[in-house]
Amino acid sequence: MIRRGPALLLATLAGAAAFGAPRSMPSLAKINALFDQTRNLEARKNFAPAIPLYAAVLAECGDPVPRHLWHVAAKAYAKTGDAKLALGDLAGAQSAYREVPARLGSTAETVVRQHVLHAQVLLARVAELTQMMAGPPPGPDGRAPVGGTTGGPAVTASLTGSGTGPVVETGHEPLVLLTERRTGGTGAGGRGFEVQTFAGDGKGLEQAAERKADADGKKVLETGRDMALVSKVILPGSCWDYIDAVFTRAGFPERRRKVVAKGPKAGPYLDTGVIRPGDWLYFRNHSFGNSEHSAVFVEWVNAPSRVALMLSYPGQGRQEPARYRPYELTSVYSVTRPASL
């Protein structure tokens, strides 16, 4: 809830008078009531009616937004993007997310910066989704490329906004999970994407995983970190080819790996209790079309919900190194582990 004392309201009134602004004061009670309604709708995953409520919040804030309500506007823009993304409206989500860094990217206030960072990350995710739905870009000969051999500039460039907002450290984005849901909307072919955010970023989880991993798992994690964040290795091929290279460079070629659990791709799926840091997992990617994906397990972000930080390679013709991202691991069908001789 948004609460401000009478002293701040009087100061804002005085400031408005000083500039001769003939405008009514925003109603905090109305803004709180609108946000309460949006929370109830989102809890029921009823996103469409929430969008006009966020527009009402922004209208109540006014334009230009008073400084003490910048965090309210930032939240309303970001949440509008989340709701449009849930309905499969990628263009609408992108437009809403762009408003946050464009209007408030230079703000130093911590809570505003959090919303700016959230919007910047989701801008990049929307660009990735759009590109994945369109398929890999054609190569110089007009044919589709193999894995990461060609492609346009990395969409992660959008994470830096216009240069005035906070910048995401490469490979350590805030922990944002997109889960694909079917939607009755027409956007993106009826595909919507639910946004979940978690506290912190991947750096602390990555460091904790390296400390707790056994010697073999630690070698895999350290090698993967070097390839992703230091050397920024880009390889031709798919996610499988990249993780195979991580294991091989860590000293675990095919003969020094063991499959500790395996099940059918269509389920029933494996008990995630067998997973350790540094394991190579094969799973259904519920963030994009329930497609087959493989990545290195780092650490649990939320173990009860089976959301984990993974080292994942995008492939699909995008000139980008591997990155740390949260994934939902409810559909793991194979676990491969490094094995010393």
Q: pLDDT tens digit string along 94-113?
A: 999 999 999 998 888 889 99
Distance CA 169, CA 278 (A): 22
Question: Same domain, yes or no, for 158 and 246?
Answer: no
Question: Same domain, yes or no, for 29 and 150?
Answer: yes
pLDDT at 183: 62
Question: Same domain, yes or no, for 19 and 155?
Answer: yes
* pLDDT-flagged residues of the chain (< 50): 1, 3-21, 137-170
- Residue 42 is assigned to a structural domain of this protein: yes
Question: Same domain, yes or no, for 108 and 54?
Answer: yes
pLDDT at 267: 80
pLDDT at 5: 44
DSSP code at position 209: H
Q: How many domains does the chain have?
A: 2
CATH (domain of 254): 3.90.1720
Question: Same domain, yes or no, for 15 and 115?
Answer: yes
Distances (CA, A) of 247 to 225, 244, 283, 296, 335: 12, 5, 18, 10, 13
Q: How many CB atoms lie within 10 A of CB 111?
A: 13
Question: Same domain, yes or no, for 136 and 278?
Answer: no
Query: Which of left, alpha, beta for 7 (phi over 0: left; psi -120 to 50: alpha)?
Result: alpha
pLDDT at 239: 86
- Residue 180 is assigned to a structural domain of this protein: no
Instruction: Show the domain range for 318.
Output: 201-338
Question: Same domain, yes or no, for 10 and 123?
Answer: yes
